[in-house]
Amino acid sequence: MNYDDLFKPVPVVKAEFTSVEFDADDTSYSPAETHSMNQLSKELSLLKDKLLEREKDLDSRESALSMDLESLEKQKRELNRIQDDLSTKLAEFESMKGKDLSEEKLKEYKDTAKRWVEMGPEVASVEIQNWRQKRRFEEALSIFEMLKAEDKAPIIAFMLNSDQDDLIELADALAMRDRGLLPSVSLE
């Protein structure tokens, strides 16, 4: 053994991969290694195809989500517009509340007042009491104010002469709230 054989650097052989297919002339890889590389290549190719398919699926989902987002934004703008319209109409309604009665409501009130006069003080008193229990006392008062003084008097008298405290209390409330029943001050 000489010095050169022992300490001479081993030449480096550069590996070239021209193909992953098995080449019988290429003896640097065993048939088992070449088979493994072919299997790995097939698996990688399959995974690549799956990833491309998944990417297409994700792109279509992203597109659908984008369209849904645009639709939701459009619906939100429409909802805000409707809410603004509703707020405006509600404000108008609140400002109109308590003003002139509509012709239909006025006709209904006049018909009810006429019915109360025709039914007599007993039935009218019970009906006014029912309106009060249904939290419609303001309407009942408006109808009561439409009656003539000579029609109001028997109803109030019946309520005041009743044994029921509710009717007496109702008569007091009607008398206090109805401006037509307030005592007139005369300057004699």
pLDDT, tens digit, for every residue of 84-106?
Answer: 888 888 877 776 655 555 777 77
Taking the C-alpha atoms of residue 99 and residue 89, their distance in angstroms, rounded to an integer, is: 16
pLDDT in tens, 104-137: 777 777 887 887 778 777 777 777 777 777 777 7
Residue identified by tokens 């491309």 is: 52
Is there a domain that residue 175 lies in?
yes
Phi, psi for 16 (deg, rounded to 5): -120, 130
Would 122 be classed as within a structural domain? yes
pTM of the model: 0.38
Alpha-carbon span 168 to 157, nearest angstrom: 9
Q: Is residue 94 part of a domain?
A: no
Residue 101: count of CB within 10 angstroms of its CB:
13
CB 160 within 8 A of CB 176: no
Q: Give the model's pLDDT for residue 31.
A: 79
* Domains in the chain, number: 1
Residue 71 identity (one-letter amino acid): S
Which domain range does residue 107 map to?
103-181
User: Is 135 part of any domain?
Assistant: yes
- Of 56 and 160, the structure prediction assigns the larger pLDDT to 56
Residue 165 lies in a domain: yes
As a whole number, mean pLDDT of residues 10-17 equals 67
Q: Looking at the chain, how many residues does it have?
A: 188
Judge whether 29 lies within some domain: no
Pick the residue with more confidence: 126 or 80? Answer: 80
pLDDT of 16: 63
